[in-house]
Amino acid sequence: MTDPPPLVLDTVNTTMSTPPPDANSARTVALVLAILAFRRTLRRHDQLSRSKLLTYQDRALSRLREHAYEHSPFYKDFHAGRRDAPLSELPVLTKQTLMQSFDQVVTNPDLRLAEVEDYLANLRGNEVFHNRYFVSATAGSTGRRGVFVWNFREWVQVIGSYNRAFDWAGSTAGLTHRVKTAVVSSTNPSHQSARVGASIHSRWVPTLRIDSGDDLSTILTRLNAWQPEMLIGYASMLRQLAEEQLAGRLMITPSFIFSASEVLTESTRRLATAAWGRSPFNVYGATETSGIAAECGQHVGMHLFEDLVITEVVDAENRLVPAGEYGAKVLVTVLFSRTLPLIRYEMSDSVQRAADPRCSCGRPYALITGIQGREQESLTFPTGGGKFRTVQPLVFHHIMDKINVAGWQIIQKSDRLAVLLAKPGSLDAAALAVDIRCALSARGVQPPDVEIKRVAAIPRTPLGKAPLIMKAAS
């Protein structure tokens, strides 16, 4: 999972005394109107039967493939001899291959990766590449960063996919109904969440953007002054803000709370519900795909946006895994991607499809009931005899969610596990270490020493994220 979904149409200052610089630009107005029209299209899709949805999906996939074969030199070769093959038989596109072949994958020969990278390196505001393309980059947390490009029509669908979560949460934000919003995430202009806000810089949804890496006291002061009706942030930030709300230092009353980008654990959900009297809505998105899934008001799982993205949950050998089991990764096909077609693109998210896909909301989309996060959150331990076994994040989640802390992080080092605990309450550190070692032993691995460390706050990455489980940099 990457940047948090930018579930807003704009970014403005807290005072609203003067119009933002791009409020009246032709591009801004055109984007907002196109997004509202696209939202109506998405609402019609929500009313489709399951069979009609799959028919629509098949046709959209055919159009995507036809476009790629006609305009992308890469796909002409990559899918050679398989143009009529079903999706499941097509080769997998990795990020490494995509970036190595970027100039051949794109469907416009005027696009060159070197120029796009130079543009990103010098990006300071909302400049549009070649006065035509919106560009964002991933953080590169799983290796080389990815660079992704969208034309105007695609960008409308990027923003529209994220705004779908508004509708499903019950918000009626629009031109005639402003909803004051606060987003606590990254403000780096090359990241998608910041870019969406900047590209629709207007008055229609007054929004305060705060960098999650800012000093906590500053974040609290700005939120208290802004009094948002909608709060969006990384899961780890929502947990911290919920702690501050319960302690009386944060005093806001949002009607809608969205958790994005990081794994939303059950303990964080409970804490946010206790703080604000309502459960946060979990949203699953990525820079590569934009919105992938979101919760409806039933909170029984996240509905996949199957009219926008085909999501295959597969094992390490790219075979579909049964519903109810976690996959090793997902393969995504973005049905609206034309400038940079993504067909069976590999992302290392571990996702679980629902064994029972039914939801009382009546929407036709399949459900996912769990996300364990990116591949780097799975830790590998020796089992003896020179063999190793991977332990999934949920093993640690089940233990750590039971303890009373403002935040936690497990770091695998060469000789031990370092467990960071932010502002822990009463805690038996020795017992916690034993629980972790026993859980690892039960998975058939040799548990390392466990070091428990109390910290004031969990350290954050340059993007402002606080990963729950990670490997120490080598």
Please write the tens of the pLDDT for every residue from 49-96.
999 999 999 999 999 999 999 999 999 999 999 999 999 999 999 999
Query: Which runs of E-coded beta strand occur in 52-141?
Result: 134-137
CA 389-390-396 angle, to 5 degrees, is 125
Tell me the CA distances in angstroms from 213 to 149, 219, 338, one per residue in order.
27, 9, 35
Task: Indicate if 378-471 has the same CATH topology as 26-80+96-299.
Answer: no
Name the β-bridge partners of 99: none
What is the predicted pLDDT for the residue at 375? 54
Please tell me the distance from the alpha carbon of residue 421 to that of residue 410, in angstroms, as a whole number: 9
Those residues with Cβ within 8 angstroms of residue 449's Cβ, 6 or more apart along the chain or in another chain = 415, 416, 417
Name the β-bridge partners of 234: 260
Those residues with Cβ within 8 angstroms of residue 371's Cβ, 6 or more apart along the chain or in another chain = 1, 263, 284, 349, 350, 351, 352
| Stretch (H or E) spanning 331 | strand 329-334
Q: Does domain 26-80+96-299 have CATH number 3.30.70.1400?
A: no
Asked if 50 and 364 count as a contact pair (C-beta separation under 8 A), the reply is yes
Please write the tens of the pLDDT for every residue from 323-357.
999 999 999 999 999 999 999 999 989 999 998 88
Statement: the pTM of the whole predicted model exceeds 0.95: no
Phi and psi, residue 261, nearest 5°: 80, -45
Domain range annotation of the chain: 26-80+96-299, 378-471
What is the predicted pLDDT for the residue at 196? 73
What is the predicted pLDDT for the residue at 393? 80
Tens of pLDDT along the chain (474 residues)? Answer: 544 443 333 332 222 223 344 434 777 778 888 988 999 999 999 999 999 999 999 999 999 999 999 999 999 999 999 999 999 999 999 999 999 999 999 999 999 999 999 999 888 777 889 989 999 988 765 557 899 999 999 999 999 999 999 889 988 666 667 788 899 987 777 777 777 766 665 666 688 889 888 889 999 999 999 999 999 998 889 999 999 999 999 999 999 999 987 888 888 999 999 999 999 999 999 999 999 999 999 999 999 999 999 999 999 999 999 999 999 999 999 999 999 999 999 998 999 999 888 899 999 999 999 887 665 577 889 998 889 988 878 788 889 888 888 889 999 998 999 999 998 888 899 999 999 999 999 989 999 999 999 998 888 876 677 888 888 875
Please write the tens of the pLDDT for every residue from 106-156.
999 999 999 999 999 888 777 889 989 999 988 765 557 899 999 999 999
Phi and psi, residue 281, nearest 5°: -90, 125
What is the predicted pLDDT for the residue at 391? 85
Those residues with Cβ within 8 angstroms of residue 153's Cβ, 6 or more apart along the chain or in another chain = 34, 336, 338
Which amino acid, 77?
D
DSSP 257-277: EEEESS---HHHHHHHHHHHS
**CATH code of the region 378-471:** 3.30.300
Please tell me the distance from the alpha carbon of residue 99 to that of residue 75, in angstroms, as a whole number: 14
Structure tokens at 145: 């960063």
Asked if 116 and 103 count as a contact pair (C-beta separation under 8 A), the reply is no
Please tell me the distance from the alpha carbon of residue 33 to that of residue 26, in angstroms, as a whole number: 11
Structure tokens at 162: 């994220």
Pairing of strands 181-185, 207-211: parallel
- Buried residues in 246-271 as b, exposed as e (16+ CB within 10 A): eeeebebebebbbbbbbbbbebbbeb
What is the predicted pLDDT for the residue at 192? 79
